[in-house]
Amino acid sequence: MTDIQYLLGYTDHGCSGYRPKMQNTLYDVFSKNAQLFQLAYQIEDTLWTHAGVHEGWFRYRFKRFMDGHPELTLAEQLNLAFEEYHNPVFDIGYRRGGYYDVGGPLWCDMAELKSSPLRGYNQIVGHTKTQYIQRMNLYNKEVTFIDVLQNKDVIDTSLFYYKEIL
């Protein structure tokens, strides 16, 4: 989702690799197809996001939005916040060159997430490249980092992730 900068504009949500000449073209593509994107997916207590949800970000930057929609699942709340361009969703943490202690679900860094993942949820995330799928257990839940795309030339069963969800 680093292409989010083209949908929202570089000035507030930019990152390295931004190509100003592509702004208009990519904005047009993304905005016309916005209904194809969602920020989160959830089955029971397992949450899929691009970069993960940090406990501190959730508690101090997002919880107020969530409290206004108690009837929705966490994924539905995140998706609604994304659709409504709720600013904290797009937070970029210091580690990624932003202005916040930690990033939101589009920019959370692996080190940030390893320090304090959202409690009560198993998370499956990408965003931070890793040589192999990594699993971390904390607070009786699992965070799995799956961005192994740079290994596309290596076919190895360790590059596949299976999680049974009952």
Please report the pLDDT score of residue 42 as a whole number: 96
Q: Is the pLDDT of residue 1 over 50?
A: no
Predicted TM-score (pTM) of this structure:
0.81
Calculate mean pLDDT across residues 59-79. 92
Model confidence at 103, pLDDT cuts 50, 70, 90, reads very high
Please report the pLDDT score of residue 152 as a whole number: 59
For 60, which DSSP code?
A: I
Average pLDDT, the chain: 83
Burial class (CB in 10 A: 0-12, 13-18, 19+), 73: middle
- For residue 155, what are the CA distances in angstroms to 110, 130, 133? 24, 15, 13
Residue 37 or residue 153, greater confidence: 37
Model confidence at 147, pLDDT cuts 50, 70, 90, reads confident
Q: Cβ distance 102 to 119 under 8 Å?
A: no
Collapsed DSSP state (helix, strand, coil) of residue 66: helix
Q: Is the pLDDT of residue 9 over 90?
A: no
Q: Is the pLDDT of residue 68 over 70?
A: yes
Q: Is the pLDDT of residue 2 over 70?
A: no
Residue 150 or residue 114, greater confidence: 114
Q: Render pLDDT for 10-62 as a digit per residue (tens, 0 to 9).
A: 555 455 566 777 777 777 777 787 777 789 999 999 999 999 999 999 999 99
